[in-house]
Amino acid sequence: MAAADEPEVPDRAASPVVDGLLAAGTAVVLSAVIALSQAAATAQPAPLAYLFACGFGAVLLLRRSAPVLVLIVSALGTFGYYVLDLPPIGVALPVVAALFSAAEVGVTRWAVGAGAVVFAVSLYFRLRDAAPPLSGFVVYDAVSDLALIAAGIALGYGVRARRIRSEQQAEIARLNGKRIEREAESRMQAERERISRELHDTVGHTLSVISLHAGVGAEAVGADDRAAGDAFARIRDASTGSLRELRAMVRILRSASGDDGERTAIASLAAVPELLEAARASGLDVAAEISVVPSDLAAPVDTAAYRVIQESMTNVIRHAGAARARVRVWVEGDRLRVSVSDDGRGPAGADGGGSGLAGMEERVRLLGGTLTAGAPDGAGFRVDAEIPTRLT
């Protein structure tokens, strides 16, 4: 038989005061039973019996550190008590506290074994000494002892089970707290990634437009002051719009939640005409067919569609070497479709070796959509995106 049935669960309620009260209570109860037994038999006081009562209580002070030892000492002490023919106190009463303690700390099999031994030995001597026919008192006494032993073990086991359940609930609460923290960190990381994509799209497109118009302005200075002035005006407008979006992003970063209203203000299909006008000003021939009302779309979908167009037009301006581009946005059923095509150099100039296409694809995928890019009929380049109009 093992010294313990299962790993010990720390008892945060354990205290020397509790153990002392249990030990004192056991000694007092046994002393009271001894006194009543002597009074009923009109016998002389038996100091040794009271010494045993104190011993049964004192050994319980070790009930947490050495529960098996306490069981053995209590059982042997009970046998020794009756061998010395001291006033009867029942065989279960001296050991019930030890049985309770053993079951409470997890050595339940030891408690059951010790209780069975004490009961069997006491029953044997009762039956041996009882005069035939077997008296009802002997049977009643045996049943009472068995009930007291079983109650002590069951109570100890119940207290332990309740403590284990409490520890498990505390552990579950701790793990749930950590899970919530991890989820919050994950959401923060996702938000940072979203903001980084927004910054890439905004700054990348604006710098492309600024770079293009700066070149036009530099060439026109001294030759065509009006064209130079228009180019510098475009640079001013582009940089002002970019700063406006950056300020909005900073407000989101400072905000606790960053609601959809602010996100929509940063990037929406409603701003596509302005975006395409800047591309036309660079000399690109842009045709647009947009048959979508932005308010009919979920805010993240509206933003994603705008970013797909923005990134695609940035790639056209930067890398494609195209003369013409076409932008189409429409709804089919519950899917928003976006298509941006050009007549440029094709895949060789699609992304300039950057991460724009990968970022667009990830953004669309996270919303449950798909994005494809390639050269139709081997000429130019086209980006097609399909996104649910509403998120579920």
User: Is the pLDDT at 359 greater than 60, yes or no?
Assistant: yes
- pLDDT band per the 50, 70, 90 thresholds, residue 155: very high
Alpha helices in the chain (DSSP H): 16-41, 47-58, 67-83, 93-105, 108-129, 136-220, 225-254, 260-266, 272-281, 299-315, 356-366
Q: Is the pLDDT of residue 83 over 50?
A: yes
pLDDT of 9 strictly over 50: no
CA 204 to chain centre: 37
What pLDDT is stored for residue 365 in this prediction? Answer: 86
- Tell me whether residue 226 is exposed, middle or buried, using C-beta atoms within 10 angstroms of its C-beta: 0 to 12, 13 to 18, 19 or more: exposed
Residue 68 has pLDDT above 60, yes or no: yes
Which stretch of 48-62, 79-93, 154-168 has the lowest confidence by average pLDDT? 79-93
pLDDT at 92 over 80: yes
Domain coordinates in residue numbering, the chain: 16-177, 283-392
- Average pLDDT (142-160) is 89
Distance CA 103, CA 113 (A): 11
pLDDT of 353 above 60 = no
For 16-49, the pLDDT digits (tens) are: 888 889 889 988 998 888 888 877 766 666 789 8
Tell me the backbone φ, ψ of residue 324, rounded to 5 degrees. -135, 150
CA distance 359 to 161: 54
- 310-331 average pLDDT score: 86
Q: Give me the sign of the Cα torsion angle 105, 106, 107, 111.
A: positive
Classify domain 283-392 at the CATH topology level: Heat Shock Protein 90 (3.30.565)
How many angstroms separate the CA atoms of 360 and 338, rounded? 12
Please list the alpha-helical segments (H only) found in 221-298.
Answer: 225-254, 260-266, 272-281
Report which DSSP code applies to 43: P
- Cα separation of 40 and 379, whole Å? 115
Give the pLDDT band (50/70/90) at residue 7.
Answer: very low
Tokens of 89: 């106190």
Averaged confidence pLDDT in the chain: 79
Token pair listed for 92: 């279960």
- Which residues are paired to 315 by β-bridges? none
Both tokens of 356, joined, read 């724009």
Query: Does residue 324 have a pLDDT over 50?
Result: yes
pLDDT in tens, 211-226: 666 776 666 676 776 7
Question: Dihedral of CA 200/370/278/265: which sign?
Answer: negative
Q: What are the two backbone dihedrals, phi and then psi, of residue 285, each rounded to the nearest 5 degrees? A: -85, 110
- The verdict on pTM exceeding 0.75 is no
